[in-house]
Amino acid sequence: MKTHLHRVTLAVSSALLVAGCSTGASAQWSNSVGGVWNNPTSSLASTMVYNRLLLDAAKKKTAPEAEGARAPQAQQKSPSVRRLRVSTTFRPVAPSLMVQDLAQGMGKTPAERAQLAEAFGQFLGIFEDQARADKELHDLARAAAFFLVANYAIASGREPTEKQTIAVEEKFRGGLSGSQQLGAMSDREKQKLYETLVIFGSLPVAGRNSAKEKRDAEQQKMFRRLARENIQTLLGVPVEKIHLTDEGLSIAD
């Protein structure tokens, strides 16, 4: 079985420190969200215009479950009226679309923006290197699952199991592949959403682990808060309403 999302989460935890050391400005990462970034949750919200798409995908049953639940008459529909499966992958239109945009929106000074851009680029690089090894490159289902699992782990303090992580990815893949909204998105739109998910999945992990290294309880609390806000922005529900199981995830009404 694949262990990609767990490996990515562990690898990302060191990227923030690497970026800080290379720029000589690692102390800036110890400031509060308000001190370094101009409200990162607002940056996430302004980019993640497809949050309803992802919420619907998270709530939908996977394809095998849905097939089993269909009434007999529904199964006999003509192939011409069946929905076509939508690919969750895309062709990149540029090396990156969101690294500079998010860094510009979140950094207050040129030095902070440069540092953020370097870290965000590393986050994407780590994620894509592992995706290439797992043969799941440029896959929105993978990115959405990583975003949810990484933020959930930081916000709740509960580390999902490997089985749960894989089930979450398959849940997103099943939901997204039946989405007409996803089918209408251009490769550029898909890439922007993908990069946003990866960057905002990585940031709380890297920031929290950096704060743990420094034994900074306030910073750990701040990144837990950021992870909670990320989940609220993506799915529109608090982390307490999300439950991960060996079958994927469920969202309480």
Q: Left (φ > 0), alpha (ψ -120 to 50) or beta: where does 236 sit?
A: left
In tens, the pLDDT along 133-153 reads: 888 899 999 999 999 999 999
In tens, the pLDDT along 226-242 reads: 899 888 888 888 999 99
- The angle formed by the CA atoms of residues 241, 242 and 243, to the nearest 5 degrees, is 120
**Full DSSP string of 20-87:** HHHHT-GGGGGS-HHHHBS-HHHHHHHH-TTHHHHHHHHHSPPHHHHHHHS-HHHHT--GGGSPPPPP
Rounded CA separation 70/58 (Å): 19
CB of 140 within 8 A of CB of 121? no
Q: Left (φ > 0), alpha (ψ -120 to 50) or beta: where does 90 sit?
A: beta
Confidence tier at 73 by pLDDT (50, 70, 90): very low
Judged against a pLDDT cut of 50, whether residue 9 lies above it is answered with: yes
Q: Which long-range contacts (CB under 8 A, 24 or more apart) does 201-204 make?
A: 201/143, 201/146, 201/147, 201/148, 201/149, 201/150, 201/151, 201/230, 202/12, 202/15, 202/120, 202/123, 202/126, 202/127, 202/150, 203/40, 203/123, 204/150, 204/151, 204/154, 204/155, 204/230
HSE-up (13 A, CA, CB side) for residue 115? 25
Confidence tier at 5 by pLDDT (50, 70, 90): low
CB of 127 within 8 A of CB of 198? yes
Share of the chain above pLDDT 70, in %: 70
Cα-Cα end-to-end distance for the chain: 32
pLDDT of 12 reads: 57
pTM of the model: 0.80
